Every structure is written in structure tokens, then in C-alpha cells.
């Protein structure tokens, strides 16, 4: 095994335990599967995952949508921008439209 400092190993273990070692895609799916809300906007997902730039989230949401994992479930007025935005949910029969 390579010569890795113990602090680096500990830091990596903490990072993984916090779920930060997973990809955005994995984190989005996990969030949508476990959230109390039936669907969420891109900005709501961004806030819960503590991502600074919504453009880190949107491409992953698009890829998940194209793969049939999630779907658009409706539209609401964004409280931040005041614009009409989509909501997304996990692709199940329980996903509200």
C-alpha cells in the first residue's frame, strides 16, 4: 500500500461517512428517495445538498431524467427568483404530478 498519512486516511473516512464521497447523481437520488417532500425544485435540491452553484446540480438532474430515474412532476413559483420552475421526483407511481 502506498505511503498515505494517517490524517489523510481519517479525513477520507470522515468525508465518506458524511456522504460527500458520493457523486451528485447518487446524492440527488438518495435525497429524493428519502425526503418528506414528494418533489423538489433544483434550488431546493441544491440547498439540501449544500451545493453553492445550481449549475453543478442541473446537468445531473437532466441526466437522471433522461435515464428515467426521475421525472418532472410539476411547476411552482421559485421563492428565490420569482420565476416558474420545474419540480422533480423519483420515477414511481407515487410521484405527484
What are the tens digits of pLDDT across the range 79-95? 888 999 999 999 876 56
The predicted-structure confidence for 57-81, as pLDDT tens digits, reads as follows 999 999 999 999 999 999 999 988 8
**End-to-end CA separation in angstroms for the chain:** 51
The pLDDT of residue 16 = 63
d(CA 86, CA 78): 9
Q: Which fold has domain 23-90?
A: Arc Repressor Mutant, subunit A (1.10.10)
Q: Which residues contact 25 (CB under 8 A, 6 or more apart)?
A: 60, 63, 64
pLDDT at residue 1 greater than cutoff 60: no
Ordered DSSP codes for 35-49: -SSS-B-HHHHHHHT
The distance from CA 12 to its chain's CA centroid, rounded to whole angstroms, is 21
Amino acid at each position: 500500500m502506498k505511503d498515505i498519512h494517517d490524517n489523510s486516511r481519517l479525513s477520507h473516512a470522515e468525508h465518506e461517512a458524511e456522504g460527500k464521497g458520493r457523486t451528485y447523481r447518487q446524492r440527488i437520488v438518495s435525497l429524493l428517495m428519502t425526503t418528506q417532500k414528494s418533489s423538489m425544485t433544483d434550488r431546493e435540491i441544491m440547498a439540501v445538498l449544500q451545493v453553492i452553484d445550481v449549475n453543478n446540480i442541473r446537468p445531473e438532474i437532466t441526466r437522471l431524467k433522461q435515464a428515467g430515474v426521475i421525472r418532472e412532476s410539476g411547476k411552482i413559483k421559485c421563492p428565490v427568483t420569482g420565476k416558474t420552475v420545474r419540480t422533480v421526483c423519483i420515477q414511481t407511481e407515487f410521484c405527484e404530478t
